[in-house]
Structure 1
Amino acid sequence: MKAVLTEESTPVYASLDDQTISIATIHKGEIVELGKVTHKKNKEVWVAATLENGTQGYIHGDAKIYRVQKGQLMDKSIDMVDTPSKEANVLKTLTKGTIITITAVEKNDDGSWYRGTDESGATGYIPTTASFRVAPEFTRAGARKDMITGLIFIVVGTVLAILDTRSSQANGMVFLSYAVIFFGLLQGGQGLYEYLTVRKKEKAKQG
C-alpha cells in the first residue's frame, strides 16, 4: 500500500527498535510503500516501509499517514487550483475521466480539499465536492493475463466452429462458438489497451 506522510517527519529504522540509529527520515509529503505490520510484545506497532529511493526499514505504527488513492473524475469538469482556497489561482481545468493521484485531504475555513497530481505531473488542490470513482490500476502482468485469456477463448471458439461445420448434424454450436470468439476478442482487446497504457506511462516517466 502506498501512503504519504502527513506529519513533519518520522525516522526509519533498520530494525524494530527505536533505540538504534535511524537509517533515513521520511518528510511530510513523501510517498512510501508500506508492507507487513508487526505487533511486538510490549504493544508497540511497527510497519515495514520502502522509500522512493529504495531504502527499506521500519517506521512506528503511530506515524501519521494518508493512504494514496487514484481516482477518476466523474464530473464534467473541475478546476485544479494552486492553494486550498476559494481565492486561489486556477492551474488547469480537469475534464471528465482525468486520473488523479490523491495524496492528502486538507480542511480550512474555505472547506475541504483534495491534494492531488494528474498524469501530466500537475499538482494542486480540488474541492472534495468533486465526484471521483476508484481508477483502474493497469500492470504489465494484468495486461498479459487478459491478452492470453482472450487468445485462449478465440482458439476454443474457433475449434468449436470448425467442429460444428464438419458435423453432419446441425447442433447449434455455431452460435456458442461465435459468442466465445467475440468474448475472446473483447478480453484480448482490453489486455492490449492496458498494455499500451502501461507502456505510455513508462515512456512518459523515462522522458
Structure 2
Amino acid sequence: MKNSWYFLLLAILMTIGFSALHYFTDFAYMVHIMALLAIVTFTSRQLVNLQHISVTLFIVTIIEYMLVQYIISLRTSVLPPHFVNFFIFAAHFLLDLMIFVLLKHRVYWSLRFVRLTNPKNWRSVYLTHADPILYGIFFAYMIVDLAAFGENLIRNMDLIFGVSEETSKPFWSWAWVYKNYEILKSILCALVLTTILATAFVERQRPDTPDEELESES
C-alpha cells in the first residue's frame, strides 16, 4: 500500500512537470517526447501494446505539428487571424478525433498487425491500463478543441458570418478557452505522457503467461 502511494505521488509530480515543460516550451517538445516514448517502449519486447500506442501518437503528433505550422505561416500572407484560429482549432479537433477512433479500435488493429508480422506472439496483444485512460483523455482533448472552435466562431461572428457589430459586440470578450487553451492542452498532454510511462512501469512488472514462458524456453 505504501508503494502504491509513492507511485501515485510520482505520477502526480510527473504530470505537473510535463505540464510545465509543455507550456513553457515550444509545441515541438511534444514531438520529442513522443519519439522518446516510442524508443522507451521498444526497449522491451513485453511492451508491444504500448509500442503501437506510442508510434500512433508519434506519427499523428508530427502530422499535427506540421499542419499547424503551415496554417500559422499563412497568417500574414493569406489568412486573417480569426481564420487562422478557425483552421488551427479544426485541425486539432480532427486529428484528436482520429486518435480517439484509433484508440477505440487499437486492440483490433494491433492484433491484425501482430498476426501478419509475428503470428506466434498474438497473445501479447490485449487491452492495457492505458487504453481506456487515453480514450478518456482524448475525449477531453476534443471537448477543449470544440470549445475553442465554437468560442472563436462566436467571438468573431461579425467577421466570419457578417453579423452586425451591435449583435456581435457583447461576445467580443468571450476568450476564456482561447486564453487558457495552451494550459489546458499542456495538462492533457502531461496526462498522456504520465499514463504511458506509468503503464510501461506496470507492464514491465507483469509476469509472463504460461504460454509466453513456454515460448521463451523453446
Smaller-chain TM-score bracket:
under 0.3
TM-score relative to the length of structure 1: 0.26
Larger radius of gyration: 1
Question: Whose helix proportion is higher, 1 or 2?
Answer: 2
User: Which gives a bigger RCO, structure 1 or 2 (Cα 8 Å, sep 6+)?
Assistant: 2
TM-score, length basis structure 2: 0.25
